[in-house]
Structure 1
Amino acid sequence: MLKLGGAFAIASLSSIACAATLFTNVKGYTLNDDAELVTFSNILIDDGKVVSLNVSAKDTKAGMTDDVSITETIDGEGLVMLPGLIDAHGHLLGLGANLLEVDLRESTSAANAAESVAEYALANSTQPWITGRGWNQELWSDRAFPTSSDLDKKVSDRPVWLTRVDGHAGWANTKTLTLAGITKDTPTPVGGEIVKDANGEPTGVLIDNAMALVEPYLPTQSNAVYKRQLDAAGKHLLSNGITSMHDAGVGRGVYDFYIKQAVQAELPIRIYAMISATDPDLSKLLGKGPIRDANDYLYIRSVKAYGDGALGSRGAALLAPYSDAPHQHGLLLTQPEDMTPLFTSVIGAGFQLNYHAIGDKANHVALNEFEKTFTAIGGSELRNRIEHAQVIAPEDLARFAELDVLPSMQPTHATSDKNMAEDRIGKDRMEGAYAWQTLLESGIPLPLGSDFPVELANPFYGLHAAVTRQDRENQPVKGWYAHEALTIKQAFKGFTLDAAYAGHMEDTLGTLTPGKWADFILVDQDIFTIDKKDIWKTQVHATYIAGKKVFSK
């Protein structure tokens, strides 16, 4: 690997260059470098990058433009062309695992989820562990946490470990609790909770840092497992029009795996990876400096830190108690005394720090720490981020722009949380919750994503939620706190140019402008002119990265 400008450039083993190709007969949209929406009917691509838009009929007929020979012309058949969409916050291998494990997203009760687990266990009889994800007690009629006995009735011979939809709680059967040595006498870890019944016995649900009690016993990961997960996730994302994603928290094993895949030119999509702040090798990885693949398939120059838990499991850290649980304030996963060393080491090494904060307390202490760090050592130019930024004290909203800290947000979280968020925090605190338009108007870019597999990865679901503040059944009719909705242009920018900017990649990604990679999608409807309630129905017909077709319907 060559060290260039303080970063490592990874030389690809295979060329991705394409012949000069003219795509015609498209209804194209992109933002220009001034974030203005422009349209085009054709696009010329050479060596995997955009040469020009709207090539003249004269040049097209001559087969030559801008000293580039047009060797191939492709008819876009009147489809809508958009830049490849960028998901600014997801979990790539987590999505792959979710696609390969038992999926509980549609479960209607604990018993129904346990039945799905039993069916999966029967079909996968040789697996030593049964793992899965997606349960959400807030969608069940009793809205109660499940228990180990619910699972024991169906699967008792093998350990079962099922992660909640938000990834901030796990559900275990008795076999798993026994294997991990979790009893009524097990102390509750700092930043976590072992949910217990009236007799003090563990119920089978572990929240946030308590999940670490089980993790050492889970099946060992390997590059072969990572590869299966990567392939499954890559195919899924490309079919949904996502050409680039920001991977929110990878450990040393995945870090090494991604580099190997980049060197071998075997990454299916572009990855902006955040190193997990909890990885034991963090200081060593920071010492290696940023890593950027010459073909922009991999860029590692940020760290993901963990401030609190999730709202649904009451793990989000709040300044005042939960409205529906007055004895709870949520959980701080990174303790206050650990924040200064973390911020100083990451930002001091020239890495962007991306801090997970959902509750108003977690957001408040993160903003305070960013301000203190910038005063002490600088680093505001690194485009540091707060991931999720869901519930913010109103007086803290303007501080994002003042500090140049990007709120990296996920629109479908709002439409998923609308049935419980007000119960959790009360109407008064909703003033600073899911406040997309307020944050944007304060003068800060707003990178958007999905947080897959917590939410579905389809970016058109996110675009729809952003502009309607409704679920896909058009509820609520007038939108949920609709004054915070975005325009379609704002939402489009969040999934393209703002997301690229948040990953320090706006120089090569995010728009279809000359000199940038020709990453684009062809879709069946015009999201800028159709009724906004139908945006989520958009279907991807083809996906291209660097001018090469990587998905076709």
Structure 2
Amino acid sequence: MFLKSIYTLILTAFCLSIWSCTTQENSQKADLIIRGGTIYTLDEGHPKAEAIAVKAGRIIAVGKEADVELLSGDSTEFIDLKGQTLTPGFIEGHGHFMGLGYSELNLNLMDVSSYDELVMRVKAAADKAKPGQWIIGRGWHQSKWTPQPDPMVNGFQTHDKLSAVSPNNPVYLSHASGHAGFANAKAMQLAGVMPLAQESLAEQQVEGGEIIRDEMGNPTGIFNERAMEVITRHIPENSEDRDMEALKLAIEACHKNGITSFHDAGIDGKTIDLYRKAKEEGALKLRMYAMVTGEDTTLVERWFKRGPEIDTSDYLLTIRSVKLHCDGALGSRGAWLLEEYEDRPGHYGMATVPMKYVSYISDKALKNGFQVCSHAIGDRTNHEILNIYENTFHQNSQEAKDSRFRIEHAQHLAPKDIPRFGRLGVIPAMQAIHMSSDRSWAIDRLGEKRIKEGAYMWHDLLETGARLINGTDVPVEPINPIASFYASVSRKTLQGEPEGGYEPEQKMTREQALKTYTLNAAYGAFEEDVKGSIEVGKLADFTVFSKDIMTIPEKEILSVQVMMTIFEGQVVYSTEDKK
């Protein structure tokens, strides 16, 4: 980081010397000049600018249009913003990149509004499939269906209707959260899941997970948390060509939504190899900050031995963090709570990994230069992770000075734990769109008191000095950052409800919301010296919006479109190209 700062100072001095000259050599001219709109820099000293000059993928000047145009030459290209608004390139602070790509290839069930509609989608796929071919999908959420299925067991539908339309094909459909799965009879048959009358309960118990059964002991088709592996281990692996196709589709989706960087929350060795290949072939037109999955202990130990892989040349692929999946989701009632679920008495959710393992990884990561990013949704999980982090920092005080350990989601917190984020320097990587999508039914899970005192506590966390990061958790939610920005500042559903927003005292200001998608997200990846704001020496990654998201009326925010995405000084997406 010290070397980056020196580089920035040298480049700044170099650019200032150019600026003072009236005649420059052609090699000193800008490749690109952007002007003609509102530019928000996120540079506290100069929050707005009229123009930007770019050379070799870096920003070489920011300021008044007349001054920046002194760097123009015969080969300089110009972009006229035509009154539109430009910001630093948006950063997806927590998502699942290959999940985004495969949502384009598999059944996308995000918009399914009822169980019957889901069944018809699967029937259409089964009618086209060969016998024995797996049908894979993701995106259903039973709490958002109208009407609710009948019957339901522990808050979920049963497989009977699904199995009836797909007798010859195994079907596996991931919950929108990714924390539960829904299988048909054919898939359960292949996995050896039987009624309890034909097997012992011990044979079907899964540590950190749950196979939901009806009162007769028959499996309902729902597999919660780690129990999903009972089915997923039987699904054939995707080919390398199909993986590459999904990767390219994910990049296209990011560009279309103004995303220039992506924090990929938990990947395996195969995916790391895919990203490296894409980078070598010039296909990785996105800056990837990848977290090694903690579920593969062998892979994690191998990375601890070799050390972080920090890309300081073009910042396309950096691997310096470990993702730990520590509890489930609220929608599947897998989030680990301090008190029982309001709508399932006696049930507290579950830890999906032993806390001793979290402690071990946190200690070893800190000693080997790695950041830890722990998935924690329930208040019990957040409490336990903060305890572990605090103890680890205390025992490794030197290494902990700039550790930037994160808690992914941090959705539901015990009030006493909120100040600890700022005090410990722990980063809450939250997704504002989850509040918009979940708040209307989350109160049924937690009750009013817990919702008001500890759910989606953005303002209170920011007040502690914590650097809050935003995102969508794609493919749990669509990758559209405008929706998450709107949720951040309105605390409303995407239908604009309720009036005034849920718990409006927790709203972010627009400046805070913009930082969560830019400078704060860059900080969460140790990259604030090279991106996240528009300053001389930083990477030329920008997002152009159709309207000024910082000043337009709140009700207009959802109508804003991404007009252009610029990556390393090159236009990689433009609505003009779509006409």
User: Normalization by structure 1: what TM-score?
Assistant: 0.93
Partner Cα separation in structure 2 for residue 245 and residue 123 of structure 1: 35
Report the Cα distance in structure 2 between the residues aligned to 1:88 and 1:351, rounded to whole angstroms.
18
Contact kept, 8 Å, 2:53 with 2:68, in 1: the verdict is no
Aligned partner of 1:51 among 25, 36, 60:
60
Segments of 5+ residues of structure 1 without an aligned counterpart are 6-16
Select the residue among 385, 408, 419 that pairs with 1:387. 408
1:57 maps to a residue whose letter is A
Distance 1:94 1:58, change over 3 A: closer
- Give yes or no for contact 1:135–1:165 (8 Å, CA) kept in 2: yes
| Structure 2 partner of 1:432 | 454
Q: Which runs of structure 2 are paired with 1:260-339 in the superposition (5 Å)?
A: 260-279=277-296, 280-293=298-311, 294-339=313-358
| Deviation of 1:341 (Å) | 1.7
Give the superposition deviation at 1:474: 0.7
Q: Is 1:343 equivalent to 2:367 in the alignment?
A: no
Residue 470 of structure 2 corresponds to: 448
The correspondence of residues 92-131 of structure 1 with structure 2, limited to 5 A, is 92-125=97-130, 128-131=133-136
- Within 2, Cα distance between the matches of 1:217 and 1:168? 18
In 2, distance between residues paired with 1:270 and 1:18?
A: 26
Counterpart pick for 2:442 among 392, 412, 421: 421
SS at match of 1:397: helix
Q: Is this contact kept in 2: 1:20–1:69, CA < 8 A?
A: no
- Give the structure 2 partner of residue 164 of structure 1: 175
Distance 1:241 1:180, change over 3 A: same
Distance across 2 between alignment mates of 1:247 and 1:318: 26
Question: TM-score scaled to structure 2, two decimals?
Answer: 0.89
String of CA shifts for 1:388-443, please: whole Å, max 9, x gaps. Answer: 00000000000111111101100010011112111111112120110000000111
Matches within 5 A, 1:494-509: 494-509=516-531
Which of the numbers 245, 248, 258 marks the counterpart of 1:241?
258
Q: Secondary structure at the match of 2:444?
A: helix
**Is 2:199 aligned against 1:188?**
no
User: After superposition, what is the alpha-carbon deviation per residue over 1:72-121, rounded to whole angstroms, capped at 9, x for unaligned?
Assistant: 33322222111110010000000111111111112222221011111123
Letter in 2 for 1:434: Y
Which residue pairs with 2:12 in the alignment? none
List aligned pairs for 1:347-358, cutoff 5 A.
347-358=366-377
Aligned-residue offset at 1:550? 0.6
**Contact 2:564/2:573 (CA < 8 Å) preserved in 1?**
yes
Structure 2 counterpart SS, 1:224: helix
Paired with 1:99 and 1:181, the residues of 2 have a C-alpha distance of 30
TM-superposition CA deviations, 1:220-276 (whole Å, max 9, x none): 133222211111111111101111110000011111211222233221311100000
| Pick aligned residue for 1:463 from 477, 485, 491 | 485
2 CA distance for matches of 1:270 and 1:290?
16
1:552 and 2:566 equivalent? no
Q: Say whether residues 1:520 and 2:542 are aligned partners.
A: yes
Change (3 A) 1:86 1:37: farther
Contact 1:250 1:274 in 2 (8 A): yes
Change over 3 Å in CA distance of 1:531–1:56 after alignment to 2: closer
Aligned equivalents of 1:316 and 1:45: distance in 2? 46
- Identify which range, 451-460 or 216-225, moves more after superposition: 216-225
- With over 3 angstroms needed to count, the CA separation of the structure-2 counterparts of 1:121 and 1:18, relative to structure 1, is farther
Partner Cα separation in structure 2 for residue 484 and residue 134 of structure 1: 28
CA contact (8 A) 1:20 1:72 kept: yes
Further displaced range: 91-100 or 213-222: 213-222
Whether the 8 Å contact between 1:64 and 1:70 is mirrored in structure 2 is no
Could you list the per-position Cα deviations for residues 120-150 of structure 1 after superposition, in whole angstroms to 9, with x for gaps in the alignment? 2334448821000011000122264122212
- The 1-side partners of 2:422 and 2:414 are apart by 15
Give the direction of change, closer, same or farther, for the CA distance of 1:516–1:123 in structure 2 (3 Å limit): farther
Distance in 2 (CA, whole Å) between partners of 1:384 and 1:336 is 16
CA contact (8 A) 1:412 1:465 kept: yes
Q: Determine whether 1:530 maps to 2:555.
A: no
**Could you say which residue in structure 2 is the equivalent of 1:12?**
none
Q: Secondary structure at the match of 2:363?
A: helix
Partner Cα distance (2:109, 2:67) in 1: 57
Output the amino acid matched with 1:546: E
CA distance, structure 1, for counterparts of residue 454 and residue 551 of structure 2:
31
Match of 2:47 in 1: 38
Q: Is the 8 A contact 2:208 2:350 kept in 1?
A: yes
Corresponding letter in the other structure for 1:251: D
Deviation at 1:18, TM superposition (A): 11
What amino acid is aligned across from residue 228 of structure 2 in structure 1? M
State the alpha-carbon separation in 1 of the partners of residues 65 and 233 from structure 2.
Answer: 62
The separation in 1 between residues aligned to 2:193 and 2:396, in whole angstroms, is 43
Q: What is the alpha-carbon distance in structure 1 between the residues aligned to residue 524 and residue 494 of structure 2?
A: 28
Q: Is the 8 A contact 1:44 1:55 kept in 2?
A: no
Q: Which deviates the most, 116-125 or 239-248?
A: 116-125
Structure-2 residue corresponding to 1:208: 225
* Contact 1:22 1:70 (8 Å CA) reproduced: no
What do the CA deviations read for 1:481-536 (whole angstroms, capped 9, x no partner)? 11101011100000000000001111111111110011012221000110122212
1:133 matched to 2:154? The reply is no
> Residue 190 of structure 1: SS of its match in structure 2?
coil
1:489 to 2:511 alignment: yes
The sequence identity of aligned pairs, in percent, is 37
If each structure's helix is expressed as a fraction of its own residues, which one has the higher value?
Answer: 2
Instruction: String of CA shifts for 1:196-216, please: whole Å, max 9, x gaps.
Output: 001011110000010011121
Aligned pair partner of 1:219 in 232, 236, 239:
236
| Alignment: residue pair count | 533
Distance, in Å, in 2 between the alignment partners of 1:491 and 1:382 is: 24
SS in structure 2 at match of 1:262: helix
Matched, 1:371 2:390: yes
Which runs of 4 or more aligned residues in structure 1 lie more than 6 Å from their structure 2 counterparts after TM superposition? Answer: none
Match of 1:478 among 500, 503, 515: 500
Moved more, 185-194 or 481-490: 185-194
Q: Which moved more, 1:98-107 or 1:295-304?
A: 98-107
8 Å contact 1:231–1:268 — kept in the other structure?
Answer: no
Asked if structure 1 preserves the Cα contact closer than 8 Å seen for 2:131 and 2:168, the reply is no
Separation (CA, whole Å) in 2 of partners of 1:399 and 1:262: 39
